[in-house]
């Protein structure tokens, strides 16, 4: 019996990866953590995919790692299943947008932090909760959180393990946009469509620079198309994927 799965759908240049485990508020099982890097590898190799949206089914992003499998998921620190999945998500070469509603807690927050952008519903709730379970938060995960929200704020989140609302997440840099609940899907869809229409070369170069990865070289044909489209006041038709 499948107790949780990652459900992939595609719509033109947009791929949506849905965390699906409704019986446990979309908690990530060990099998789901283990499957994520392979799914990302497949999407990275597909030139038709330009943007990935990570979301949760049924009105909840992800309530964390499945507590029943917590020991197996967290074992080995920076070599754990969860950190391997987080690392693969952060290294994915195309833009990743987290669409966050409901609970984004523990491992869910870990996944959201590894995305490029986070758009949250106003009613979403966040929490970094390993201190409630006696889990040593992995070094790589702790550093990624601190890079996003700052060291002092990361300590506050880790030390208290309390839940906080989307407005606080936006103030602290954990959410980039907060929108009314009924506007979340449309906002993320419009944002993803805008990103997909931009030069993928530019976007991947920016992500590589900010992530410390090798940067692709300038493509003269891409630049020529961008300049020509600007001069003609038309949408560019970038070929680079």
pLDDT tens profile 150-206: 999 999 999 999 999 999 999 999 999 999 999 999 999 999 999 999 998 899 899
Q: Which helix (H) or strand (E) holds 108?
A: helix 107-114
- How many Å apart are CA 40 and CA 45, to the nearest integer? 9
> Tens of pLDDT along 84-95?
999 999 999 999
> Tens of pLDDT along 88-123?
999 999 999 999 999 999 999 999 999 999 999 999
Q: Would you list the domain boundaries of the chain? A: 5-191, 200-232
| pTM score of the predicted model | 0.91
- How many Å apart are CA 9 and CA 52, to the nearest integer? 10
Q: Which helix (H) or strand (E) holds 6?
A: strand 5-11
Out of 3.40.50.10540, 3.40.50.300, 3.90.226.10, 2.40.50.140, which CATH number does the structure's domain 5-191 have? 3.90.226.10
């Amino acid at each position: 019996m499948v107790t949780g799965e990652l459900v992939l759908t595609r719509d033109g240049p947009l791929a949506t990866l849905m965390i699906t485990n409704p019986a446990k508020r979309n908690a990530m099982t060990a099998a789901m953590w283990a499957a994520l890097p392979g799914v990302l590898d497949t999407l990275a190799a597909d030139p038709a995919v330009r943007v990935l949206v990570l979301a949760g089914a049924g009105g909840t992003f992800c309530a964390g790692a499945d507590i029943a499998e917590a020991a197996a998921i967290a074992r080995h620190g920076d070599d754990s299943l969860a950190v391997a999945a987080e690392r693969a998500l952060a290294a994915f070469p195309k833009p990743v947008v987290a669409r966050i509603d409901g609970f984004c807690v523990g491992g869910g927050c870990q996944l959201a932090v590894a995305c490029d952008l986070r758009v949250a519903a106003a009613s979403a709730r966040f929490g970094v909760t390993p201190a409630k379970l006696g889990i040593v938060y992995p070094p790589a995960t702790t550093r990624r959180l601190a890079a996003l929200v700052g060291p002092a704020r990361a300590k506050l989140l880790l030390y208290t393990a309390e839940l906080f609302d989307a407005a606080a997440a936006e103030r602290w840099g954990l959410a980039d946009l907060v929108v009314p609940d009924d506007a979340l899907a449309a906002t993320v869809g419009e944002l993803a469509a805008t990103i997909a229409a931009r030069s993928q070369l530019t976007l991947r170069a920016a992500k590589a620079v900010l992530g410390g990865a090798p940067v692709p070289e300038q493509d003269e044909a891409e630049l020529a198309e961008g300049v020509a489209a600007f001069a003609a006041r038309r949408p560019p038709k970038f070929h680079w994927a």
